[in-house]
Amino acid sequence: MIGNDRIEVRKTHKLFVGGAFPRSESGRTYEATNSQGEFLANVAKASRKDARDAVLAARTGFNSWSKATAYNRGQVLYRIAEVMEGRKDQFISDIQDAEAVSAKKATNQTDQAIDRVLWYAGWADKYAQVLGNTNPVSGPFFNFSIPEPTGVVAAVAPADSSLLGLISVIAPIITSGNSVIVIASTASPIPAITLSECLATSDVIAGNINILTGDPAEIMPSLASHGDVNALDLTGITDPELQKALQIEAAGTVKRVRSAPVNPDWQATPSLSRLRAFTEVKTVWHPMGM
Amino acid sequence: MSSLDSQPVDSQSPNLQTPSSHKGLEALLAGLSGVDQVGAEARAAALGTRSIKKESKMWAIDTAISMVDLTTLEGADTPGKVAAMCSKALHPDPTDPSTPSVAAVCVYGDLVPAAREVVGDRIHVAAVATAFPSGRASLGVKLLDTREAVAAGADEIDMVIDRGAFLAGNFGKVFEEIVAIKEACGDAHLKVILETGELKTLDNVRKASWLAMKAGADFIKTSTGKVAPAATLPVTLVMLEAVRDYYTQTNVRIGVKAAGGIKTSKDAIKYLVVVNETVGDAWLTPDLFRFGASTLLNDLLQQRQKMLSGHYSGPDYVTID
């Protein structure tokens, strides 16, 4: 509670693009409310131009992040978990406000979100061994396949799980070396904004993770057709018509698309399917026995 | 079209004759009024806010492409790299034959034959000469450098002024060097690089512009691209104003080339706006305005693809030179 003798310090919620916190280029904001419709805060409403700026930032971030060693990527993910742990109380209160849940449920979601980051941190230098392979071929070749990051991924976080769902979308994309532009839950964007403040102080390469707040139906079509976006994660798109339209747009530049899951259970331990979805398999034929 | 000076240049009665001694030149340069730096920056920034959309943008992009001097000036340049760049200069977007060619390719003197072999006489070949980029060599060496480039087939010469002499106040030496190089150029066009990043003040930029035009430059060019800051809008504005004032006095149109640091279509369009608003649309032609650039062309092509296809392009859809 604010004492009478203090001036209230109101926070201006902004986007997270290229490691910085810009306002929307359009100057627009929208009101974030809790599930009872009570006002929480004004939040930046990203425009298509903001999304394009984010693509530029993500491409720059990808160029460094994808070259980082797998071991280093794991360290950075672990660092994200460390910083989130220090901000736990804020996450819990954000989730309570946004989703109107009990302190216990909010704490549970925060713990799981941090654990999820750790889970993927561990996979950073191991997933290639699991998804990759040596292949028997008929010839004097040592033939092996390894997964490589696909590039810039535009993602929509789920609307209902404002932190755990968001983390479950971001973490697998970046673990393999991709960059991500993620549109946070439109209804509950504030935990995502707190997360962006953690990311800004977690050794995450500028532009590797970009978080936009706003309306996916407005922003996603231009990202789906954008020539410099390599893949889409439509997890948070619940409208089947919009999902179909985005898939059609994405086909023009042959993007990988991961459709929205049916009844996702964010509490459950994930599989590697999200990690695999945003990788390209490279197969090498190496002469041997010559 | 307001001048930025408290007093217009022509009120200073500069000596319009080519000075026989350097007294006249020095009087002319001393008589130039100072540049209001804040005013120049404000004017350039204001013009930079113009919104150019749709058909105008399409025209601007095509015009900007046709004004590019596609440049490679690296120690690691090979005949093969120059040949590849020249092919790109002729057909910037192989997927769309309606894309205009660029104005010229710009290379080191020894690579002129490699460039000429590919482009023939379809576009210009510019060579940097006179001990580019520092200009630290004797006049004899600079003249030889120039003559060899012209003999090898360059029809445009980009020379650098002796900034050391200019900053020391030895304007006569700078002037004589330009005159001598101009003579060595023969029929080739002479672009005089002021290297505004080393001249430090806009007053010096104005002085150097006048000096170069008086000495016979066909073009005045901002920078080598090897020194930061390279081309900026305020510097280009001041040079364009000098060109405008020179035109009102002599009826001779001198070209301007902005080189270095212009990387996006948005920047390029800002320059076109400044050209149009300062010297008028007579200068919106590759004969009188150029961009010296290497990466700018790819951004122009991506924007052009966006205008035609309706969706944003990416670096995967243009060639890496």
- The beta-carbon neighbor of B317 closest among A52, A227, A249 is A227
Q: By the CB < 8 Å criterion, does B94 face chain A?
A: no
Q: What does the CA dihedral A153, A156, A158, A164 come to, rounded to 10 degrees?
A: 40
Q: Do A228 and B305 touch (CB under 8 A)?
A: no
| Counted domains in chain A | 1
**Cα–Cα nearest to A156, from A218, A63, A73:** A218
Rg (CA), chain B: 19
Q: Taking a C-beta distance cutoff of 8 angstroms, is the pair A42, A31 a contact?
A: yes
B298, B312, B320: best to mutate for the A interface, most A CBs within 10 A: B312
Dig out the tokens for B317 from the structure: 């859809």
Minimal CA separation from A234 to chain B, in Å: 19
pLDDT reading at A4 higher than 80 = no
Please give the pLDDT value at position B6. Answer: 45
First-to-last CA distance in chain A? 77
Please give the pLDDT value at position B22. Answer: 84
Q: Do A226 and B312 touch (CB under 8 A)?
A: yes
Within 8 A of B311 by CB-CB distance, chain A residues are 222, 225-227, 249, 252-253
Task: Report the residue of chain B nearest A253, measured CA to CA.
Answer: B313
pLDDT reading at B249 higher than 80 = yes
Q: Is B130 part of any domain?
A: yes
pLDDT tens-digit readout, A41-90? 999 999 999 999 999 999 999 999 999 999 999 999 999 999 999 999 99
Q: By the CB < 8 Å criterion, does B97 face chain A?
A: no
pLDDT reading at B9 higher than 70 = no
Q: For a pLDDT cut of 70, what percent of chain B falls above it?
A: 93
Please give the pLDDT value at position A8. Answer: 82
pLDDT bracket for residue B19 (50, 70, 90): very low
Rounded Cα distance between B167 and B146, Å, is 24
How much is the mean pLDDT over chain B? 92
Minimal CA separation from A225 to chain B, in Å: 6
Residues of chain B numbered 284-303 and touching chain A (CB < 8 Å):
302
Cα angle, residue A72 at apex, residues A71 and A73 outer, rounded to 5°: 90
Q: Taking a C-beta distance cutoff of 8 angstroms, is the pair A184, A34 a contact?
A: no
Please give the pLDDT value at position A3. Answer: 59
Rounded Cα distance between B33 and B135, Å, is 28
Please give the pLDDT value at position A35. Answer: 80
Task: Report the residue of chain B nearest A60, measured CA to CA.
Answer: B315
pLDDT reading at A38 higher than 80 = yes
Minimal CA separation from A111 to chain B, in Å: 39
Q: How large is the average pLDDT for residues B190-194?
A: 97
B207 tagged catalytic:
no
pLDDT reading at B120 higher than 90 = yes
Q: Do B305 and A225 touch (CB under 8 A)?
A: no
B23 tagged catalytic:
no
Minimal CA separation from B42 to chain A, in Å: 22
Minimal CA separation from A59 to chain B, in Å: 10
Active-site residue identified among B257, B267, B270, B299: B257
Q: How large is the average pLDDT for residues A85-112?
A: 95
Q: Is B10 part of any domain?
A: no
Specify the CATH number for the domain of residue A261. 3.40.605.10
| Domain extent for A263 | 29-287
Q: By the CB < 8 Å criterion, does B75 face chain A?
A: no
Please give the pLDDT value at position B85. Answer: 96
Q: Is A13 part of any domain?
A: no
Within 8 A of B314 by CB-CB distance, chain A residues are 55, 59, 226-229
pLDDT bracket for residue A34 (50, 70, 90): confident
Number of Cβ within a 10 Å radius of residue B220 = 28
pLDDT reading at B12 higher than 90 = no
Q: By the CB < 8 Å criterion, does B313 face chain A?
A: yes
pLDDT tens-digit readout, B174-190? 999 999 999 999 999 99
Q: How large is the average pLDDT for residues B242-248?
A: 97
Distances in Å between the Cα of A279 and the Cα atoms of A135, A153, A166, A253, A269 are 18, 11, 20, 17, 20
How much is the mean pLDDT over chain A? 95
Q: Is A146 part of any domain?
A: yes
Within 8 A of A52 by CB-CB distance, chain B residues are 312
- The beta-carbon neighbor of A252 closest among B302, B311, B314 is B311
Q: How large is the average pLDDT for residues A253-275?
A: 95
Within 8 A of B299 by CB-CB distance, chain A residues are none
Task: Report the residue of chain A nearest B309, measured CA to CA.
Answer: A225
Please give the pLDDT value at position A12. Answer: 85
Within 8 A of B317 by CB-CB distance, chain A residues are 227
- Is ipTM beyond 0.85? no
Encoded amino acid at B7, one letter:
Q
Count interface pairs A-B at CB distance under 8 A.
30
Task: Report the residue of chain B nearest A227, measured CA to CA.
Answer: B313
Rounded Cα distance between B254 and B252, Å, is 6
Within 8 A of A245 by CB-CB distance, chain B residues are none
Rounded Cα distance between A273 and A278, Å, is 9
pLDDT bracket for residue B59 (50, 70, 90): very high
Within 8 A of B313 by CB-CB distance, chain A residues are 227-228
pLDDT reading at B16 higher than 90 = no
Within 8 A of A228 by CB-CB distance, chain B residues are 312-316
Active-site residue identified among B218, B221, B270, B299: B221
| Domain extent for B258 | 18-309
B311, B313, B317, B318: best to mutate for the A interface, most A CBs within 10 A: B311
Please give the pLDDT value at position A201. Answer: 96
Q: How large is the average pLDDT for residues B59-81?
A: 96
Q: Taking a C-beta distance cutoff of 8 angstroms, is the pair B61, B303 a contact?
A: yes
| Counted domains in chain B | 1
pLDDT reading at B67 higher than 50 = yes
Within 8 A of B302 by CB-CB distance, chain A residues are 227
Please give the pLDDT value at position A9. Answer: 83
Specify the CATH number for the domain of residue B159. 3.20.20.70
Q: Is B321 part of any domain?
A: no
Q: B289 forms bridges with which residues in the sheet?
A: B256
B158 tagged catalytic:
yes
Q: Is B12 part of any domain?
A: no
Please give the pLDDT value at position B321. Answer: 67
For residue A177, is it left (φ>0), alpha (ψ between -120 and 50) or beta?
A: left
pLDDT tens-digit readout, B152-181? 999 999 999 999 999 999 999 999 999 999
Q: Taking a C-beta distance cutoff of 8 angstroms, is the pair A234, A251 a contact?
A: no
Q: How large is the average pLDDT for residues B250-264?
A: 96
- The beta-carbon neighbor of B314 closest among A222, A228, A252 is A228
Please give the pLDDT value at position B4. Answer: 53
pLDDT reading at B223 higher than 90 = yes
Please give the pLDDT value at position B173. Answer: 95
Minimal CA separation from B41 to chain A, in Å: 23
Q: Is B9 part of any domain?
A: no
Q: Do A227 and B314 touch (CB under 8 A)?
A: yes
pLDDT tens-digit readout, A151-166? 999 999 999 999 999 9
Tokens 């030889």 belong to B144
Backbone angles phi, psi at B60, to 5 degrees: -65, -40
* DSSP alpha helix (H) spans, chain A: 48-65, 70-86, 88-99, 103-123, 127-131, 164-175, 190-199, 216-225, 240-251, 273-277
Q: Taking a C-beta distance cutoff of 8 angstroms, is the pair B72, B321 a contact?
A: yes
pLDDT reading at B13 higher than 90 = no
pLDDT tens-digit readout, A159-215? 999 999 999 999 999 999 999 999 999 999 999 999 999 999 999 999 999 999 999
CB-neighbour burial class of residue B76 (10 A; exposed 0-12, middle 13-18, buried 19+): exposed
